[in-house]
Amino acid sequence: MDRSWKIPESQLLPGQIAPSGPVPGYDPKIHGLLPPQRQTLLWNITYRIPFRSYSLVLSGNKSVYRRSTYAYNTIYDLSGSSTSLMANLSKILYRDNKSKLTGNIEIKRKTVSHILKMWN
C-alpha cells in the first residue's frame, strides 16, 4: 500500500497538523483507502451586564461535528453536538485595597449527543 502521503513528525512546521489520509487527488485503486473527513462548527456568545456591585453573565456555546474514518472494509461515521447555556450572578461582598470577596451563583445546562454508524 502506498504511504507516500505521510509526513514525518520531524518535518512538520510549528502549528501544522499531520495529514491523516492521502492528499487531495488520491486514487482509491492505488492507495486502497479514503482519507478521513472532518467537519466542525463552533460558536460561542457571552453577554455581561454589570450593575453596582452585581454582575450578570449570560453565555451559550454550541459545537457540531461530523467525522468519517475509513477502515479496511468498513466506514465509521461519528457525529454529534454539544450545547451549553449558562447564567451567572455574582456580587462583591467585601472589597478593600488588598482583597475582594465575591459571592457567586451559577446555573448551567449542558446537552451532548453522539451517534456512531458503521457501513459495510
DSSP output for 14-44 = TTPPPPSSPPTT--HHHHSSPPPEEEEEEEE
State the 10-residue block means of pLDDT for the chain, 120 residues long. 63 65 57 64 96 96 86 76 98 94 97 86
What was the pLDDT predicted at 81? 96
pLDDT at 31: 52
Alpha-carbon distance 21 to 15, whole Å? 18
pLDDT at 34: 53
Would you tell me how many other CB atoms lie within 10 Å of the CB of residue 22? 20
C-alpha span between 26 and 19 (Å, rounded)? 13
pLDDT at 1: 46
73 vs 67: CA distance, rounded Å: 17
Domain boundaries, the chain: 1-35, 37-119
